[in-house]
Structure 1
Amino acid sequence: MLDPSPIIAGGSPELSLRNTLDLAKKAEQWGYKRFWLAEHHNWAGMASSASPVVIGRVAAVTEKIRVGSGAMLLSHYSPLSVAEQFGTLEVFFPGRIDLGLGRAPGTDRFTAQVLRQRVAGEPEFAERLQELIAYLHGNGTQASNGVHSFHAIPGENTKVPIWLLGSAFYSAELAGQLGLPFSFAGHFAPGNMMEALAIYRESFRSSEVLDKPYVLLSVQVSAADTEKEAQRLATSMYQKFLLLTRGHAAPLQPPVDSMDTVWSEDERKAVEDQLFTSIIGDPSAVKQQLKELIHKTEADEIMAHTEIFDHEARLRSYEILAEAAKNN
């Protein structure tokens, strides 16, 4: 599961974070392998801005499921601070922490500037990544003067799994070159999906981490006991992306019976272009769509991202998907 702790219209961040904990406990019961938290900032519809804190809380209320970031936005932080945070999480929850890294800002450019407080001469993403790997998978780094050394304490040589996440081609190629697992954001950029996966696999070089490519594909899922209800629940997701195309990040809206009066024809096409990999339907349809997606992409794992307004309906959607995955 990929959970951004969605804030619903009329809800609150507190309610959203409580729902995240409830969902994580259910995910473990249903047999999900990973529970990742998205990172977003200054966004009215998502409460997961401090994802390492939420990761620790989720890990504390579960026992076996892997908990991680989807993604920690490395461009905003120093590699040493990220290594210390995830090294600490690994100490508390050994063998259960994943560090997914993203290059995108996760917000608007003005908020990104506030987060980064950048100075001239800062290292770019690939350099930050190499430094982070040195902290978590090696023995730290050394200053150019050869005198000062820097270590992630805790975290050094803990080998917390590092993933690269992306919605286009840069991270796909970099993940391949470094021999890291790659997660593609098919839940909002499906148009780039097949090319990005091909680039990753073609550029892959074996490493101490992996001897062959490993793909995790994130997709939107809206499942219900009937096709009609699944389609109705999916309108909350459509409205979210519609508002984003209009430049408005808002809390998740309640479902509607029809989108015909909500969007224009051009807006409908724009939203559907972002969501055409979505899995929507009743249990039988979900099972078939999941099978077809795995066959098409040869993904090693599927990560579900479900944008459903009602918490109980969202739980049921994930339960249906779990049942479909077991039978595939």
Structure 2
Amino acid sequence: MDPATTPPISLIDFATVHSGERPGDAFHRSVAFAQQAERLGFKRIWYAEHHNMKRIASSSPAVLIAHVAANTHRINLGAGGVMLPNHAPLTIAEQFGTLAELHPGRIDLGLGRAPGTDPRTLQALRRDARAAETFPQDVVELAGYLSGDSTIPGVTAVPGAGTNVPLYILGSSLFGAQLAAQLGLPYAFASHFAPAALEQAVATYRQTYQPSEQHPEPYVIAAVNVTAADSTDDAVEQDRQVKRKRARAMLARGRSITEEELDILLSTPQAQQVLDMLRYTAVGTGSEVRDYLADFRARAQADELMVALNAPSGAQSLRSMEILADATNLAPR
């Protein structure tokens, strides 16, 4: 990418728990990940709320953000996102208001409508399945708490009021695009795992955008996977390992299967559907990844890229980050 036209590049951290590890190992790695991202010049890191997933430890984004923020200095940190129907808006306003008071100007809040889990876990969260129906109203209520202009008389978020934590609507369909446009908020599309509606959703968002005081212009963040390595062959092999691991997790359904059994599963239509979730993936050396991201940005009409670094290990992920930063001319801090 040309330095003059390089968009802000941010990162997603899934707090991945590798085989034989505890979640604490993932959190330790998240700190190292954020510290390196800060040095290299990445704009922000987001953590997603997932529940009942053995390999993802980011079930409490606010707690994880607090830990990482205490061990970094400048980089923005946020939820990408909090699944708002799982929570009372006041609770989220207080959590992220606390973070904003502790780390002024560094906290983001992306909001999703999905549960971030399976139906049984959803019930264990005490979440009413109908809660998603009030997502638009809940976003407005939350925004009121954070601005200090509460929509509920007599109820103030303390901390929270007046922090104006930036809000982002997350989505993978037209619903999120339409809501973000209606509310005049930035829109982040989850094309790293749900690519199908990317172009249509972004076009809808930009065409119907209603300017707000905070955001007079639309702003699109598009997520994309990256596997960068020192050689094309190494990157291709890492990508192969990541995809096999993804397919095993989603198709084996908790069963222990051999590599041969996995090969059989990978030949099925169901496997192709799973792998298509990773359709937008840059694989290769720095220059190859850079060229892919330039094309992807144009396709997505993106103002900012949110990168999921797909690598088999923490060390490979850190190296991938270095290659990406160098190739895209990020400015070290």
TM-score, reference length from structure 1: 0.91
Query: What is the rounded CA distance, in whole Å, between the counterparts of 1:142 and 1:261 in structure 2?
Result: 56
Q: Name the SS of the counterpart of 1:291 in structure 2.
A: helix
1:141 aligns with 2:151: yes
Please tell me whether residue 295 in structure 1 is matched to residue 305 in structure 2: no
Q: Contact 1:226–1:282 (CA<8 Å) still a contact in 2?
A: yes
How many residue pairs get matched?
317
- Single out whichever of 230-239 and 89-98 deviates more from structure 2: 230-239
The RMSD of aligned alpha carbons is 2.3
- Residue type of the partner of 1:62? T
| Runs of at least 5 residues in structure 1 that lack an aligned partner in the other structure | 144-148, 251-255
Mapped to 2, the partners of 1:283 and 1:41 lie a distance apart of: 34
Unaligned runs of 5+ in 2: 1-10
Aligned counterpart, 1:61: 71
Instruction: State yes or no: 1:44 paired with 2:54.
Output: yes
Task: State whether structure 2 residue 100 is matched by structure 1 residue 90.
Answer: yes
Deviation per CA, 1:90-138: give whole Å up to 9, x if none. 0000000000111111110111121134398997111111100110123
Aligned partner of residue 139 in structure 1, secondary structure = coil
Quote the residue 2:318 is aligned against.
Answer: 315
2:86 match: 76
- Matched AA of 1:206: P
Find the aligned partners of 2:130 and 2:118 in 1 and give their Cα distance: 21
Higher mean C-alpha displacement, 82-91 vs 232-241: 232-241
Tell me, in whole angstroms, the C-alpha distance in 1 between the residues paired with 2:249 and 2:316.
23
Residue in 1 aligned with 2:28? 18
Offset at 1:208?
1.4
Specify the code of the residue in structure 2 equivalent to 1:219.
V
Higher relative contact order (CA 8 A, sep 6+): 2
SS of alignment partner, residue 81 of structure 2: strand
Cα distance change, pair 170–116 in 1 and its aligned pair in 2 (3 A):
farther
Answer yes or no: is the 8 Å Cα contact 2:183–2:212 preserved in 1: yes
Task: Give the match's secondary structure for 1:70.
Answer: strand
Residue 142 of structure 1: how far off its partner (Å): 2.6
Determine the structure 1 residue equivalent to 2:156.
Answer: 151
1:118 counterpart residue number:
128
> CA 1:212/1:233 → structure 2, altered by over 3 Å: closer, same or farther?
same
Cα deviation per residue 1:286-320 (whole Å; 9 max; x = unaligned)? 11101111122220110111232211111011111
1:224 maps to which of 217, 223, 229: 229
Is the alpha carbon distance of 1:117 and 1:104 closer, same or farther for their aligned partners in structure 2, counting shifts above 3 Å? closer
